[in-house]
Amino acid sequence: MTKNVNSVIFSIVSEVGKRLKNVRIAKGLSLRKFAGWLEEDSSVVFHIETGRRFPPKPRLEKFAAVLSLTERQLEALIAVERKGLDTFEMLPEIVPAAIPTDSIEDEAEKILNEYCRASNKDTIEVPIPVADVIKTAYDLSTEDLDFAKEGITGSEGGALYGCLYPSGFRRLRRAVLVNTGKISGHLLSSAEKLITVAHEAGHYALHYGKKESKQLFFRFSKEPTYCRKQEIKPTPFNLKEEQANLFAACLLMPRKQFRETWEKEHGDKSRLARHFCTTESFVQLRAEMLDL
């Protein structure tokens, strides 16, 4: 019995297409406008989204960047999907196309509870001691450095708020670094520092994890991530940055405390921002997450 090749491909090719569609939806673009932004034919984009083909080989670097992957990760993902194998089993280091908000909320609450147990506390204090929480949960250290003096610039350059070194930084096993130098003429506020640490902790929790592929060919080095101003604004800059921001909002403003304070302050975003030592835009993000 002859198999319908197109239906087989359609059934096994989902992760690349799902990722691409999620990016387009997050940007609020039609298929035609998204294709124009990608400088690609709209029919090609449509067929990738629906699992009927893969990104063109000469354009892998461009598509990888859009999908928040390295070019090598995208090549591995395509190779696994071509063989009809389970991408999550074969490539555990590659984050799924979408992480449910409830799962992000659960992870943030889990580490807050771990910190409370380790500290013999019934409830956690506000502002959240983020550096202590992530040290307890992930053995993730926090270090303040002047990036300009240290020569920390990131692969794309530009002013950095912070960065995550998941595989070690100097004497530290793994670390979040926060820039204490001037950025566009100003120093980071206390709120911006807390958001930066929570955001980078989100990358570690959601995008690195502790799993490695059993296949050496599919293991990827855990490179640093760099946090710029646009990446800690609560907007869908890209999938991974949006997920890290959601995690940061959950961590800095725990659900129960946020609901209680929201009612007490009658939804005054300025007062809520001061209470949780965050920004009004992050308060707005948290309120939207909780349908307030």
pLDDT tens by residue, 197-218 = 999 999 888 877 544 444 434 3
The residue range of the domain holding 112 is: 101-289
Tell me: pLDDT of 9 over 80. no
Of 49, 66, 90, the one marking the end of a domain is 90
Tell me: pLDDT of 193 over 50. yes
pLDDT of the residue at 238? 66
Of 64, 90, 116, the one marking the end of a domain is 90
- Compute CA distances 107 → 87, 102, 127, 128, 144, whole Å: 22, 9, 19, 15, 25
pLDDT of the residue at 130? 97
Count up the domains in the chain and report the number: 2
20 versus 239: which is more confidently predicted? Answer: 20
- Is residue 96, in this structure, part of any structural domain at all? no
In percent, how much of the chain has pLDDT > 70?
Answer: 82
Number of residues written out for the chain: 292
Instruction: Judge if 106 and 76 occupy the same domain.
Output: no
pLDDT of the residue at 70? 81
pLDDT of the residue at 19? 82
Tell me: pLDDT of 240 over 90. no
**Mean pLDDT within 111-120:** 96
pLDDT of the residue at 213? 41
Rg from Cα positions in the chain: 20
One-character DSSP codes across 40-53 = S-HHHHHHHHTTS-
Tell me: pLDDT of 291 over 60. yes
Instruction: Judge if 273 and 129 occupy the same domain.
Output: yes
**Mean pLDDT within 39-46:** 91
Is 135 exposed, middle or buried (CB count within 10 Å of its CB: 0-12, 13-18, 19+)? middle
Confidence class for position 285, pLDDT limits 50, 70, 90: very high
Tokens representing 25 are 């939806």
Q: Which of 106-115, 116-125, 170-179, 213-222 has the lowest mean pLDDT?
A: 213-222
- Is residue 139, in this structure, part of any structural domain at all? yes
Which range in 60-69, 105-114, 241-250 is most confidently predicted, on average pLDDT? 105-114
Please provide the average confidence, as pLDDT, over all residues in the chain: 83
Instruction: Judge if 143 and 267 occupy the same domain.
Output: yes
Instruction: Judge if 85 and 121 occupy the same domain.
Output: no
21 versus 251: which is more confidently predicted? Answer: 251
266 versus 89: which is more confidently predicted? Answer: 266
Confidence class for position 95, pLDDT limits 50, 70, 90: low
pLDDT of the residue at 184? 84
Instruction: Judge if 232 and 150 occupy the same domain.
Output: yes
pTM of the model: 0.73
- Report d(CA 211, CA 3) in Å as an integer: 35
28 versus 253: which is more confidently predicted? Answer: 253
Instruction: Judge if 108 and 204 occupy the same domain.
Output: yes
In percent, how much of the chain has pLDDT > 90?
Answer: 45
Is 44 exposed, middle or buried (CB count within 10 Å of its CB: 0-12, 13-18, 19+)? middle
